[in-house]
Amino acid sequence: MATIIDGKALAAKVRERAAAEVAELGGRGISCGLAVVLVGDDQASATYVRSKLRDCEQCGIRSFDYKLPAETSQEELMELIGRLNADEDVTGILVQMPLPAHLDTERVVAAIDPNKDVDGFHPMNMGRLVRGLEGLRPCTPAGIMEMLDEYEIDPAGKNAVIVGRSSIVGKPMAFMLLARNATISVAHSRTDPHELARICQSADILVAACGVPKMIKGPWVKPGATVIDVGMDRDEAGKLCGDVDFDSAELVAGAITPVPGGVGPMTRAMLMSNVVLAAKLQHGL
């Protein structure tokens, strides 16, 4: 049976570490403040925002909560981001995605000060990642790297397969694993479906981030492989599940993340880490 990678327990540790750093920075006169901007009344987004604000409170991070109506214009949103960029009490800015369709997400992301970009989505931060430079990294793949380190799974020299190539998960994941000397393959919706199982079977580290419920089955997993399930999907019964068929994959994998309790809590916790890192960057630390 595989080792179950406990994202919840590790997330608690990451939050404790962030809280200690917040206190330490506070002692040096540096405060951490996160502005969270929510446009519209999407219920799932509102829930995510509430949990982020709660995490801030737990870590001693000041939070600034901006709830804007769904009809907010591009100019109004850009103007707010400009103000938050200039506000010294705000050391991190997060605009909750997805934005309503009439807003240009790329323009919004690019308007955030890269040193306050705690989501790590700004082209400057993505560029730094690709160039192998320090910087703010997207929370989900950053959390996965923490999990690998915690469980002493060294990517160096291993074959890593990432299923999914989104800008928030798949692509940054590929570059983070590459930076740690793994050999990378990235599969996506145009990968030959007949080849996908074989590609996955080559993985010592398999990261599933495709948003297709339980697509990756036990026989696709190399015996002893590490399986990281990013998916947050619903099965036929409407129950939360991942992109991996946990029951069959667990029998073959060496280590595996559950859904829930794996990548999700780590994504949340890494946001707190990023808020601390952003404050440090702004103070040249």
Contact range with ligand NDP by CB under 6 A, out of 9-17, 121-129, 261-269, 273-281: 261-269
Contacts with 77 (C-beta within 8 Å, 6 or more apart), sequence order: 37, 39, 68, 95, 103, 108
What stretches of 6-151 adopt beta strand conformation (E)? Answer: 33-39, 62-68, 92-95
Contacts with 102 (C-beta within 8 Å, 6 or more apart), sequence order: 74
Question: Is position 119 annotated as part of the catalytic site?
Answer: yes
Instruction: Assess 188 for contact with ligand NDP (CB under 6 A).
Output: yes
Map tokens 């951490």 to a residue: 32
Tokens of 188: 């996506």
Contact pick of 96, 115, 140, 226 for ligand NDP (by CB under 6 A): 140
Contact pick of 31, 166, 185, 248 for ligand NDP (by CB under 6 A): 166
- The least distance separating ligand NDP from the CB of residue 8, rounded to whole angstroms, comes to 12
Q: Would you say 64 and 34 are in contact if contact means Cβ atoms under 8 Å apart?
A: yes
Select which of 52, 158, 214, 222 is catalytic: 52
Distance CA 21, CA 30 (A): 11
Instruction: Assess 234 for contact with ligand NDP (CB under 6 A).
Output: no
Instruction: Assess 181 for contact with ligand NDP (CB under 6 A).
Output: no
Question: Is position 52 annotated as part of the catalytic site?
Answer: yes
Q: Which residues make up each annotated binding site?
A: 164-166
Instruction: Assess 209 for contact with ligand NDP (CB under 6 A).
Output: yes
- The least distance separating ligand NDP from the CB of residue 182, rounded to whole angstroms, comes to 19
Contact range with ligand NDP by CB under 6 A, out of 31-39, 107-115, 166-174, 197-205: 166-174
Contact pick of 28, 131, 190, 239 for ligand NDP (by CB under 6 A): 190
Select which of 55, 113, 119, 204 is catalytic: 119
Contact pick of 95, 108, 230, 253 for ligand NDP (by CB under 6 A): 230
- The least distance separating ligand NDP from the CB of residue 133, rounded to whole angstroms, comes to 23
- The least distance separating ligand NDP from the CB of residue 53, rounded to whole angstroms, comes to 17
Tokens of 85: 């960029």
Tokens of 53: 């604000």
What stretches of the chain adopt beta strand conformation (E)? Answer: 3-4, 33-39, 62-68, 92-95, 159-163, 183-187, 205-208, 226-229, 233-234, 240-241, 255-256
Question: Is position 96 annotated as part of the catalytic site?
Answer: yes
What stretches of 129-204 adopt beta strand conformation (E)? Answer: 159-163, 183-187
Tell me the CA distances in angstroms from 111 to 80, 82, 136, 257, 282, one per residue in order: 10, 7, 16, 35, 17
Residues that bind ligand NDP (CB under 6 A): 140, 163-166, 168-170, 187-191, 209-212, 230-233, 263-264, 267
- Please list the active-site residues: 52, 96, 119
